[in-house]
Amino acid sequence: MRIVLGGVRGSSPRSHPDFMRFGGATSSVLVENDAGARVVLDAGTGLRTLLPYLESADDRQPVLMLFTHYHLDHLIGLPPFPPLYNPEWGIVFAAPVREGVTVEAALKRLTDKPFWPAPFRARQHFIDLPEESDPSPFSHGPFVVRWCAVHHRNGCHAYRIEAPQTGETMAVVTDLELAASDEHERAALFRLCREPTPVDVLVMEGHGEASRFADWGHSTWPETIGFAKAVEARQLVITHHAPDDDDMSLSQRQLDVQALMPNACLGCEGMTLVWKRGESVLIARERA
């Protein structure tokens, strides 16, 4: 299993020299295997970073795109994404219905006039997932996808992706407010990341400081570390960095994070994580 972080910024993109190391593109994550199966989680401006991995067409294995939620920072990279105008390219859009809005309705609204001038030409398929994945997860090629709702305004879901043939697992958990989560929400998320085995890689938000973002639907990085330790994740990658957190502040946070949890790091735009289940140490490579 390979993970590529297309974008790791939250709320809004940044384009400035002070944001180059960690990157200014918003959330998008690719999970793939060596056989060409591909799953993308969210379509922020970081989707463009993933273009080299996604532009080839494959009739046998269309790309699966899952949405955690439909706030614009997680969606805005979709309308200008070049493969969506290739009639030979195939994609499956999937997400649970949130506040009565299906994935097809959300994307139609995003690309309808007066917001976008051109319809997608790629072969598209839309799937409405159940509110919870238990007891029926969703399969996409060699991957099994599970999910649960998390605490965030307008609804949001965390996803777990498993490769049963090799035993590799990862989870993407973003845009949740742990401090405001109720007992049911906490228990569901714990099960997602912990059962039947702890995830190998947990990609989870740690947006900023509690005093700055209370009631905004986000968690702080110390809360994220506490959760990762509780579920015994092998590797934690903290993402969804606040838009004003520049490279200097994030570099210091990286030191603070690793002092508390050595098997944790801050995500960088373009970071690639590659590992095999039998390996004792995760191999992580930042972008060149």
Task: Write the DSSP assignment of 246-274 as a string of letters.
Answer: -HHHHHHHHHHHHHH-TTEEE--TT-EEE
At residue 85, does pLDDT exceed 90?
Answer: yes
Residue 288: per-residue pLDDT: 45
Residue 182 pLDDT level (bands cut at 50, 70, 90): confident
How much is the pTM?
A: 0.93
Burial of 133 (0-12, 13-18, 19+ CB in 10 A): buried
Q: How confident is the model over 164-187, as a mean pLDDT?
A: 90
Residue 279: per-residue pLDDT: 63
Domains, the chain, with CATH or none: 2-285 (3.60.15.10)
Query: Of 220, 217, 132, which Cα lies nearest the Cα of 180?
Result: 217
Q: Give me the phi and psi of 265, to 5 degrees please.
A: -155, 170
At residue 155, does pLDDT exceed 50?
Answer: yes
At residue 60, does pLDDT exceed 80?
Answer: no
At residue 278, does pLDDT exceed 90?
Answer: no
Give the chain's mean pLDDT.
Answer: 89
At residue 18, does pLDDT exceed 90?
Answer: no
Residue 99 pLDDT level (bands cut at 50, 70, 90): confident
**Cis before 262? omega within 30:** no
Residue 211: per-residue pLDDT: 44
Residue 267 pLDDT level (bands cut at 50, 70, 90): very high
Instruction: Note the pLDDT tens digit of each residue in 204-253.
Output: 999 765 545 556 667 888 999 999 999 999 999 999 998 889 999 999 99
Residue 285: per-residue pLDDT: 63
160-181: b or e for each residue (b if 16 or more CB lie within 10 Å)? bbbbeeeebbbbbbbbbbbeeb
Residues of the chain with pLDDT > 90, as a percent, come to 68
More confident residue, 212 or 141: 141
Q: Cα–chain-centroid distance for residue 92? A: 16
Residue 284: per-residue pLDDT: 62
Lowest-pLDDT range of 27-41, 46-60, 112-126, 164-178: 46-60
Residue 286: per-residue pLDDT: 61
